[in-house]
Amino acid sequence: MNLAVVISRMNAGACQPVVGAQVDVWHCDALGRYSDVDDPSFSTLGQKFLRGYQLTDARGEAKFLTIYPGWYPGRTVHIHIKVRTAPEATRGYVFTSQMYFPDRLTDDVQAQPPYAGKGQR
């Protein structure tokens, strides 16, 4: 999956790109497992996957090549995101959120292997 995140801010009544912001994303694999986690049903301690960051370019865009996230009980399919506007500065802004997907798209993806092996969400 190609994922593009565009970071902008309001300035003088117009959106302006935020250049050089650090955008972190992380999510679970197709079977609902996060990397570097010790869970009662699995352990991925020491493994690093589906976690990373990019800096925004002149258009305020950070691009990622990743997979469609899986699911786990109690949560809808999502991707975590954190934006740091000045990652090297002593003061900057931090925004943390999650991105979600339309149920229809998720249903289509979840019907395909290896997602389908997990069962109904």
- pLDDT tens-digit readout, 44-59: 999 999 999 999 999 9
The β-bridge relationship of strands 51-55 and 8-11 is unpaired
Domains observed in the chain: 2-118 (2.60.130.10)
pLDDT at 34: 97
- pLDDT tens-digit readout, 63-109: 999 999 999 998 999 999 999 997 677 778 999 999 999 999 999 99
